[in-house]
Amino acid sequence: MERLLLNQAYTGTVEGYSSEGLGIVRINGAVVFVPRAVRGEEVRLRIVKAMKTSYAGEIEEILTTSPERVEPDCPYFGECGGCVYRHMTYAEELQSKLQKVNDALRRIGGLTLRAEEILGAENPLHYRNKAQYPVGADGAVGFYRRRSHRVIPVEHCQICATAADETAGAVGAWMRKYGISPYDETAGKGLVRHVYVRTNRAGESLCCVVLNGKTAPREPELVAMILAAVPKTVGVVLNGNASRGNVILGERYRTLWGQDFLMDELCGLEFKLSVPSFYQVNREQAEVLYGKAVEFAGLTGTETVLDLYCGAGTITLAMSKAAKRVIGAEIVPEAVENARENAERNGISNAEFFLGDAADVAAKLEREGLRPDVICVDPPRKGLAPEVVDSVAAMGPKRVVYVSCDPATLARDLKQFSALGYQAERAVAADLFPGTAHVECVVLMTHRKGARE
């Protein structure tokens, strides 16, 4: 591999995409990652950074333009760290994400399995039902610049609900009008850290303002300005987080006005959502994803299903319709409370929920002799801890359905499952995060020796 020179211009062709959505250009054997590139284009680029085994480049000129290139529809694109795909057609974005999934399955998991398809969104705009706006030390309310914690002020986001943008704008206006201090994460001083907004199918919203403290000046005025901007707000909540670090929410909540939860409808069921409850951010695509998970579970009405990382009980309750018994486990107390209420609200009597870490709950249930027919897991981005994989395999389910938001950790865990006798048979990708580099997958695993006796 020839060493490339910093600030030197080179010409090459974009071959494909990295897992982060960057274009890949090979120059004299060296790999160069280039933002805002489209596969098939010939570009002249400049090397801006040398890394251990690759380089970072910036496009200076597009010599051959792909028909898949489009004009970005967002004025913040390229500066905001949220979206990476606003310069190409949605069809090309989906191909990039399908490639990402299959590359991870092959390179990390060592599997010959390939995702059968990627299920694209019918509407890739304004789909997020949860938005978290950091507040910069200068008072800017928006999103982080790519690979930094500098906040870019954003008024209108192409993937967030309009009500969320308007709520964040109202909080920013309240801060400016009454001189409310923003939080400075470097100094650990200042008051307002984040604006957190949930929205539902009916257009209602729940606002949570995260503070470096317990109270704020001019609280009635804060409520009034939010309601004036977004009349369909159902509640305004304060969250106290005085810790240093990147965790957004603290443990204490106080309701300023209205209610501290939001109701929503998903998969024909009603769900009560508190601020910290996990809930997929793309409602319509979540229904597509969960439908595929239920299909992979192969339920006939006689099965016991264990759902780890169940959040507010969405997958658990979706599977309850076709199972004999469903059990959910979740570490967030508010989410478990919501899940139990959601089961009762929907008249579901064959569901139960446990509070605890997935590894602890799985190990406990395994020791107690629980032998579910199907186990579903939907872990956070870091994937499953090795002990969770061991406990799942030890319970000997006929099928394991793995829902993942990170193809890399999914592939890693599938490799461990394979060593324990579970073979990945089917995989499907689903785009729950249009515009961004993220993609969801659902994988069906069965034991190589067949069903448990």
Give per-residue burial for 70-86: e unless 16+ CB within 10 Å, then b.
eebebebbeebbbbbbb
Beta pairing partners, 237? 208, 255
Query: Are 49 and 71 in contact, with CB atoms under 8 Å apart?
Result: no
Query: Are 72 and 78 in contact, with CB atoms under 8 Å apart?
Result: yes
* Beta strand spans in 216-275 (E): 233-240, 252-258, 261-266, 269-274
- What's the token pair of residue 24? 């890949």
DSSP per residue, 194-225: EEEEEE-TTS-EEEEEEESSS--TTHHHHHHH
Query: Are 133 and 141 in contact, with CB atoms under 8 Å apart?
Result: yes
Helix (H) or strand (E) holding 93: helix 90-107
| Beta carbons within 10 angstroms of residue 186's beta carbon | 9
Q: Is 82 helix (H, G, I), strand (E, B) or coil?
A: coil
- What's the token pair of residue 414? 């599938």
Q: What is the largest CA-CA distance in the chain?
A: 69
CA quadruple 340, 344, 346, 352: dihedral positive or negative? positive
**Active-site residue, 83 included:** no
Q: Which amino acid is at 389?
A: V
Per the residue annotation, which of 74, 157, 376, 405 is the catalytic one? Answer: 405
The residues annotated with a catalytic role in the active site are 405
